[in-house]
Amino acid sequence: MPTIPVRRSPRISGGSKVAGQTVSRNEIGVSTPSKRKIRSDSTTEDNVVTSTLTPSPMEISPCKWKSPRRCVNDSPKSPLNANRGDKTINLSKSPVKRRLSESFLEKPIWNPRDMEQLNAVKEALHVSRAPSNLVCRQVEQNRVLEFCKQAVKIEKAGSLYVCGCPGTGKSLSMEKVKEVLVNWADESGFQAPDILSVNCTSLSNTSDIFGKMLDKIQPRRKLNCSTAPLQYLQKMFSEKQQPAGTKMLLIVADELDYLITKDKVVLHELFMLTTSPFSRFILIGIANAIDLADRFLPKLQSMNCKPAVITFCAYSKDQIISILQQRFEAFPYTVFQPQALELCARKVASASGDMRKALWVCRSAIEMLEAEIRDSISSLDLPSLHGRVSYQHRDGACDKSPIHESNVVRVDHVAIALSKAYRSPVVDTIQSLPQHQQIILCSAVKLFRGKKKDATIGVVISVCTIKLESWSYQACVEC
């Protein structure tokens, strides 16, 4: 039987043969054999030395592995001698922060002492200032617009209910939809509908909405005293077909929940008018309650004429930042620090997602910066302190003073504005009470928190006495 040759690793103790050469231990200077190199071709020459005879210090004593991270901006896989200015190194900042820095810090810092700039920024942040293009609501706008277009094309009535949290752009979106719908009808050759916008909070009586509808359809029509506008509309939409040239009517009823009465007749009849056979009006109701149609319009669901529902979700942090950027993009200067805007967006998004609250916080932060600058100018009132410099000289010095980065709205301004915006008035009232009254209030709350429904004054006084004694003992210990 043929023998199979066994390859053995070279011995290091005396002398060894490495690739056909006898090498002594003193020549190698290493105590452990080096690993063989894996070769794919077995026919390659075996007599070639694959490694140097004098090993490096790393082979003599292996050193500990050190993390290549040299700064915060490096990643664990970065090479040791990586160029720190290379753009391929991943920064620790998020993409949103990087976009904020690029969009705000490239502009020069504004001058809050300039009243023209100050008033322009305040006006841009006002709630009544509607932007030309409403961002972050394109999906909801398209859904409402497609509903209205379909109703105008087939000339069929319909109802839509738009709901969502306060400050999510419902009313602004409807204004944009009305404008786009009229332009689309003119360009497409359809007859543009008449539009009636009603804020239900302005109605003295809930049934007045039917009178407004009738005035819009037939402005010069005079009714008998015995005929109510609702009865006339019901008769007109159920028995008489309108002429071919009659325009459709689009009704946008904002704050629709104000029409809810005890018997719910007004709200129910308003939606029922869209189901009449010859009805030619489109109803869009806007309110905050998501389940209004389920709670107050159960008959419509049983008759299979429940209105379509479109929900406006609360704004997220990125959406609030985008809207604020849109408000500031017209200005050639920087007003807010990027970190301050992000703090405002994060807090408002986590609390309510109300964009109106975010605008109020930004305006309040600007007012704090304005008061801070006013106080710094008043502190430089040298005539009041020394009586040597005139007011005219002081005002000229303030106007010529350089604009520093401290003139932008900082994080501390936004933090104080947020605390004011979300501060509870009940907590402020309790904190303003004297300490003994606070103890009485806490004692009463402790008594009535359990199953007790009533208590005598003596019981309350006894609990207050115990609390006062414990408070006095704690004060003595602290002293």
* Of the candidate ranges 69-78, 147-156, 363-372, 376-385, the one whose mean pLDDT is the lowest: 69-78
Q: Which of 161, 162, 142, 139 is nearest to 150 (CA)?
A: 142
Q: Which CATH superfamily is domain 137-312 in?
A: P-loop containing nucleotide triphosphate hydrolases (3.40.50.300)
Q: In this predicted model, what pLDDT tens digit does every residue of 106-135 receive, in sequence order?
A: 678 888 888 888 999 999 999 888 888 888
Amino acid 185: pLDDT: 93
Domain boundaries in the chain? 137-312, 425-476
Q: Which of 421, 431, 427 is nearest to 367 (CA)?
A: 421
Residue 48 has pLDDT above 50, yes or no: no
Beta carbons within 10 angstroms of residue 326's beta carbon = 16
Q: Which of 93, 95, 65, 70 is nearest to 80 (CA)?
A: 70
Amino acid 416: pLDDT: 94
Q: In this predicted model, what pLDDT tens digit does every residue of 289-329 receive, in sequence order?
A: 888 877 777 777 777 678 889 999 999 999 999 999 999 98
Residue 402 has pLDDT above 70, yes or no: no
- CA 340 to CA 342: how far, in whole Å? 5
Q: In this predicted model, what pLDDT tens digit does every residue of 187-230 receive, in sequence order?
A: 999 989 999 999 999 998 988 999 899 888 887 666 665 578 88
Q: In this predicted model, what pLDDT tens digit does every residue of 67-85 receive, in sequence order?
A: 544 444 454 554 544 444 4
SS3 (DSSP) at 406: helix
Tokens of 358: 């975010």
* Of the candidate ranges 63-67, 174-178, 367-371, 421-425, the one whose mean pLDDT is the lowest: 63-67
Cβ atoms 124, 327 nearer than 8 A: yes
Mean pLDDT of the region 18-36: 44
Please state whether beta strands 21-24 and 308-312 pair in parallel, antiparallel, or not at all (unpaired): unpaired
Q: Is the pTM of this model over 0.75?
A: no
Give the residue carrying structure tokens 């071709």: 41
